Amino acid sequence: MTRLVIVLLLLALGCGVGDAARGEPPVGFRTDGTGRYPAAKPPLDWSKDKNVVWHIDLKQSNAVPVILGKRLFTCAEPCVLLCVNKEDGKILWQHESSWKEIVPTEQEKGLIEIERKQDDVLKKEQSDLEKEGSALRKAIRENPATKAESEVKLAVVEARLDKVRTQRKALTTFNRYREPGKDAGGYHPTGGYSSATPVTDGKHVYVIFGNGLAACYDLDGKRQWLKLVEHPTAAYGHGASPVLVGDKLLVHFSDLVALSTKDGSEEWRLKLAPNHGTAMHTRLGAVDVIVHPQGPVIRVSDGTVLAKNLGATGPNSPLVQDGKVFFAAGQVRGYALPTSEKVPEKWEPLWKPRTIKGQGYWFPSPVLHDGLIYAMSSKPILSVVDAKTGELVYEEDLELGAGDCYPSLSLAGDRVYASSDNGTTVVLKPGRVFEELARNKLEPFRSSLVFEGKRMYVRTTKGLWCIGE
């Protein structure tokens, strides 16, 4: 009997350890990626002076707040991760990820110095060639008699200029350790360096910034590692958030890269052009995959592409829910997810792609509730599509005023929320008929709304607000 008790105790402990190792689902972009909070019951009305539990001033960020127990994680310019007490808004700790802390090896330092001198020479040559090319273009415009001769000279100059630019790009060590300036791909005034949303596994919090750095902290703010991944290359600044799957952190600055959560080392790399939408994690049978905003399905263990060209979402994210995946940007496409790792080469869509209205960029990610997909572009035309049939249920101009709709659509309780960066949010009753319940105004924000219980958290461009009765 004693032996049996010991065996059962060991088995129980073993199961507990296994569950702890697997951990709870990560919390990150739009909390679980869907933007749905069905148990939430926030107030219907709010403003700067109404139903405010607390408010703190912070420097700009578009990162979505991440809630873990009594902690709330958010970001701020230039490259700062903050941990806030969810109950009262007090900052528990904050740390910046700085290039000053990135130290090359001694061998790399020698290469950097050699390549720096080479770059100085090439940079001067590039400047001289650009001036010469400009002068020749002016001569072509203003002096038709010498046009043919000038065009021949210009072709020679442009060929040399292309070669010099290629030579500068080939100085890989020097370029890698040169801090990206604000004219680089990782920065734009609208997003700054801190648009990516942190992600946590309940034990650590992971964060990336538009300067190409990734970092890991424990919950008390002690940094576990800081990693220079690479320079971002997406136009208009970096926006895609990291995706945490098991022991891998997937980041997409230039290539799609899997980092080890243990030490930030690179585990695999996939050549794939970056954009601003965040990939979504799901499972095909027992296999972890991500669905990328550009349409491929990628195996997390090794970066193998299992499917291609399913759709494209531009700057928003695919919606993975109820065993299906949807892409919404100009068109809505839907697919049933395979139930095993045996992925077909060609996926059959659920229905013919549905064209939806919209203008500008498709910044907001869609939300799915009770079989209806709610989608919207940066200009606030809301399109509601039947997820089963692809039928267009209705389209409505929400008339949110001047500005662009960056925040993703959200569902809290039995309400749908649509917001503009001018601070206006329309609260809607979900269903097949348009019904506006409320219209509220706060200060400008581009982050998506987050809900918990009777509270709503809003990361504005100037601070963090907790709304509740």
Q: What CATH superfamily is the domain 36-100+185-468? A: YVTN repeat-like/Quinoprotein amine dehydrogenase (2.130.10.10)
Element (H, E) at 394: strand 392-397
Does residue 67 contact residue 452 with C-beta atoms inside 8 Å?
Answer: yes
Structure-token pair, residue 289: 């995959």
Residue for token pair 């609208």? 190
d(CA 64, CA 233): 22
Q: Which string of DSSP letters, residue by residue, matches 425-457?
A: EEEE--SSS--EEEEEE-S---SPPEEETTEEE
With vertex at residue 127, the alpha carbon angle to CA 126 and CA 131, rounded to the nearest 5 degrees, is 115
Interatomic CA distance for residues 405 and 28, integer angstroms = 21
Cα separation, 381 vs 375, whole angstroms? 8
Distances (CA, A) of 294 to 310, 375, 393, 469: 8, 17, 26, 41
Task: Kindly list the domain boundaries of the chain, sorted by start residue.
Answer: 36-100+185-468, 103-176
Per-residue exposure over 72-95, b if at least 16 CB sit within 10 Å of its own CB, e if not: bbbbbbbbbbbbbebeebeebeeb
CA–CA dist 274, 221 (Å, integer): 30
Per-residue confidence in pLDDT tens, the chain, 469 aa: 334 333 333 333 333 333 334 457 999 999 999 999 999 999 999 999 999 999 999 999 999 999 999 999 999 999 999 999 999 999 999 999 999 999 999 999 999 999 999 999 999 999 999 999 999 999 999 998 889 999 999 999 999 999 999 999 999 999 999 888 877 777 898 999 999 999 999 999 999 999 999 999 999 999 999 999 999 999 889 999 999 999 999 999 999 999 999 999 999 999 999 989 999 999 999 999 999 999 999 999 999 999 999 999 989 999 999 999 999 999 999 999 998 878 887 899 999 999 999 888 999 999 999 999 999 999 999 999 999 999 999 999 999 999 999 999 999 999 999 999 999 999 999 999 999 999 999 999 999 999 999 999 999 999 999 999 8
Of 143, 79, 31, 60, nearest in space to 411 by CA: 31
Per the CB < 8 A criterion, the answer to whether 78 and 460 are in contact is no
Measure Cα distances from 377 to 188, 315, 344, 365 in Å.
20, 10, 31, 9
Residues 83 and 93 sit within 8 Å (Cβ to Cβ)? yes
Q: Which residues contact 115 (CB under 8 A, 6 or more apart)?
A: 171, 173, 174, 175
Kindly tell me the burial class for residue 143, based on how many C-beta atoms sit within 10 Å of its own C-beta (0-12, 13-18, 19 or more): exposed
Q: Other CB atoms closer than 10 Å to residue 44's CB: what's the count?
A: 13
Beta-bridge partners for 266: 259
CA gap 450, 430 in Å, rounded: 18
Question: Whose structure tokens read 């010991």?
Answer: 6
Question: What is this structure's pTM?
Answer: 0.90
- Give, in degrees to the nearest 5, the angle at Cα 158 between 152 and 159: 90
For the chain, report the end-to-end CA distance as a whole number of angstroms: 56
Report the SS3 class of residue 25.
coil
